[in-house]
Amino acid sequence: MATLYDLMRWVRDFVGDPRHQPRFMADDFGWHQLCTAMDTIQDTESAVSAYVDHTFPDDTGERYLRTYGILQGLFLQQDALIELINAIRPVKNIRPRDLLTNALIDVRGMRNKSVGHPTKLGRKAPFSTHAIVQHSMRKEGFELMSYPHQSGQIFQGVPVLDLIEKQRAETFRILSEVVEDLRAQEETHRAQFRGIKLMSVFDQTSYAFEKIFEELRRDSALAMGKWAVGHLRTSLDNFEKLLKQRGLELDSYDSIKYRYDEIEHPLNELSTFLHGEESEILSDKSAVVFADALRSHFIDLRHMAGEIDDEYGSEPEPVIQPVQQGGFQVIVQRIGEPEKAGD
């Protein structure tokens, strides 16, 4: 059964993808803010689950802690959701009024009255003051006494469990839309390069090494060895170019960067040796050792290129469709245009 954690796992995988992560990490504060938002969404969901699943306490102080905690947790989750979306889709600055539906505004409003700014609510007059009716506190909710500045005393019920269900449904729906949008972007990107195989740049490297070993055994003309090391260098350059076309760098993958670092020195020395210039390589037998090590690294690179090709050849992982969440039906609808809610 689909859960909020399934959607957040998809988001985390997207953020941690080698193509996307450098963009997010380029802004140090923004990266930490994004990580905090992802953690907060899941951490507050854990807090909500604890409220729903555990027995409501008998002690008055514990009841206040549960009540304060659950409403503040829901509020924190909404703010984290806003920051998450702003971070992963920075071209679209989503303000609270653009994201918050009437259901989420209801949650924020009840939080503001009950545990946010109960003694004086409002940015400017007329103000209001609010208090939880102590003996009314239950797991299902409580009664709130309000006293607006220009009217009489008002009592209203705050249905905590209903607010939780509304927020879970809306959070799931919004994250589903975000993930679906990201998935569509990823599929468009992969389709653009699906027919361009990274492995193809290494198609003739085996032949090149064959000619290098032939020359070191003096079984071929010197010119073939020079061509071969030049071809190896060209293969590396072309591979890097194709990665950049995809928005990737050599250091996007630690394994690829490691192979390039390991290749650089022996390839330079082998090239120098085959060109008859002074080199660390002192004999043909020593050169064979260098060439054999290089061949192993090129085989590994070709395998890594194939793994990237396989990824681009597949569609991004499907978004789990909203079904049941926490015992209630999740209804998918477009984000509306509700009025702006106070903090």
| Residue 229 token pair | 């090391």
What are 219's two structure tokens? 């079984």
pLDDT 10s per residue in the chain (343 long)? 568 999 999 999 999 999 999 889 999 999 999 999 999 999 999 999 999 999 999 999 999 999 999 999 999 999 999 999 988 876 555 555 567 778 888 898 899 999 888 888 888 888 888 999 999 999 999 999 988 877 778 899 999 999 999 999 999 988 988 888 889 889 999 999 999 999 999 999 999 999 999 888 875 556 788 899 999 999 999 999 999 999 999 989 999 999 999 999 999 999 999 888 888 888 888 999 999 999 999 999 999 999 999 999 998 876 554 444 444 333 333 323 333 344 5
Domain limits, the chain: 4-117+159-190, 196-313
Going by C-alpha positions, the residue among 40, 49, 45 that lies closest to residue 84 is: 40
- What is the pTM for the complete model shown? 0.78
Task: Specify which residues 130 forms β-bridges with.
Answer: 146
The token pair at 179 is 């993930």
The residues near 72 (Cβ < 8 Å, ≥ 6 apart) are 111, 115, 116
Triad 36, 42, 46: Cα angle to 5°: 130
Q: How many other C-beta atoms are found inside a 10 Å radius of the C-beta of residue 335?
A: 14
